[in-house]
Amino acid sequence: MQQCSCGHRAIYFRRYSGQHLCKRCFSRSIFKKFKDTIRINKLIERDDHVVCGVSGGKDSLVLLHMLKDLQSKFQFELSALVIDEGIAGYRDVSLPYVHRACKQLGVPLHTRSFKEAYGYTLDEVTQIEDRLGACSYCGVFRRNILNQASREIGGTKLALGHNLDDESQVILMNMLRGDMGRFGRTGTFYKDVHPKFIPRIKPLREIPEKELVLYAVISGIEFDFEECPYAHEAFRDDVRDFLNDMEQKRPGTKHTLLKTYDKLFPIFNEQFTPESIATCKRCGEPSISTLCKKCEMIDDIKKKKGY
């Protein structure tokens, strides 16, 4: 049995740093990483209104708890925002976790749904023939509502629960796909590209997914274990398996990939991110072209559904 450097019994071996950690030192180290990520990258400033996107999964609920704790250190406003995509048997199961957490923490919760915003649930969208992958619609719709709703709530930052695994997977996926446009958008900061764009912050991006699960368990944060029924995207699964395999053989792989990306990020951002972004002629939201991806998708769905 191993001991933590403080003398208590270790419950976690952090292979990438060689540390054996007890419950208390482990939890402290996670909160410190979260706080340092915010401080070093100036993600939250005094009097910001942070809107935390929550799903009921462990990442976003840990993020919400940590942001609440951080409020005791300095002054900022905190709200939570949940999107109901309309995925039967999944989102309806995780929503109660969100409601309970917000009630317990005293954080105001705002809810938006695909059905209300667009007229269709994600389940309804996936019934059309000749369609894209469910995650393509969901990703575009969710980003659109998160941005729009955050603005309506009065948010100045949108906090999302992306962890080290999410980030390292996306970096590698964009690199393998040669998607340079997206490649320049996974960093810690965003250029102020559009007046209607609420900057997104990812305070958990340096924390491994496994450590967030352990942190949630130790802190008594209840979360939904389920996986989205649409989540199995073959390419991401391959990249995830590869990174997990590498991490097990060579602990530190995921951190190194993120650190390398972060060092190169100013160059990517300069080279591949447009100076300014257009405005969708229909909905007025930030867009790459004159009609935004969301409006384009809605047109296509309407045509195929006939209503």
Partner 1 sequence: MVKVVLMREKQTLEVDYEGTIIDLLPLVGYSLETAVVLKNGSPVEEEETVGEADEVRVIPVVSGG
Q: Which whole-number Å values give the CA distances from 125 to 138, 144, 221, 227, 292, in the listed order? A: 10, 16, 33, 19, 18
Q: Which of 20, 65, 202, 293 binds partner 1 (CB under 8 A)?
A: 20
Strands 49-54 and 77-84: parallel
Total of residues contacting partner 1 (CB under 8 A): 33
**Residue 258 within binding range of partner 1, rule CB under 8 A:** no
For partner 1, which is the closer residue by CB, 193 or 213?
213
Tokens of 275: 């100076």
Nearest distance from residue 225's CB to partner 1, in Å? 5
Amino acid at 271: Q
The region, left, alpha or beta by phi > 0 then psi within -120 to 50, assigned to residue 154 is: left
**Residue 84 within binding range of partner 1, rule CB under 8 A:** no
For partner 1, which is the closer residue by CB, 11 or 283?
11
DSSP state, residue 132: -
Q: Which of 34, 51, 57, 205 binds partner 1 (CB under 8 A)?
A: 57
Nearest distance from residue 210's CB to partner 1, in Å? 5
**Residue 206 within binding range of partner 1, rule CB under 8 A:** no
In three-state secondary structure terms, 21 is strand
Nearest distance from residue 123's CB to partner 1, in Å? 14
CB atoms closer than 10 angstroms to residue 60: 27
132 to 171, contacts with partner 1 by CB under 8 A?
Answer: 135, 165
**Residue 240 within binding range of partner 1, rule CB under 8 A:** yes
**Residue 92 within binding range of partner 1, rule CB under 8 A:** no
Binding mask 27-56 for partner 1 (x = CB under 8 A): ----------------------------x-
**Residue 16 within binding range of partner 1, rule CB under 8 A:** no
Report the alpha-carbon distance of residue 294 to residue 289 in Å, rounded.
Answer: 11
**Residue 264 within binding range of partner 1, rule CB under 8 A:** no
Alpha helices in 72-163 (DSSP H): 91-105, 114-118, 122-125, 134-153
| Residue among 106, 104, 103, 92 nearest 55 (CA) | 92
Tokens of 213: 């699960």
Nearest distance from residue 245's CB to partner 1, in Å? 8
Nearest distance from residue 154's CB to partner 1, in Å? 27
Please tell me the total number of residues recorded for the chain in this structure: 307
For partner 1, which is the closer residue by CB, 65 or 295?
65
For partner 1, which is the closer residue by CB, 208 or 286?
208
Report the alpha-carbon distance of residue 120 to residue 161 in Å, rounded.
Answer: 26
In three-state secondary structure terms, 275 is coil
Nearest distance from residue 44's CB to partner 1, in Å? 23
Nearest distance from residue 242's CB to partner 1, in Å? 11
Report angle CA 43, 236, 17 to the nearest 5 degrees: 55
Residues that bind partner 1 (CB under 8 A): 1-2, 10-13, 20, 23, 55, 57-60, 135, 165, 209-210, 213-214, 217-218, 223-228, 230-231, 240, 244, 247-248
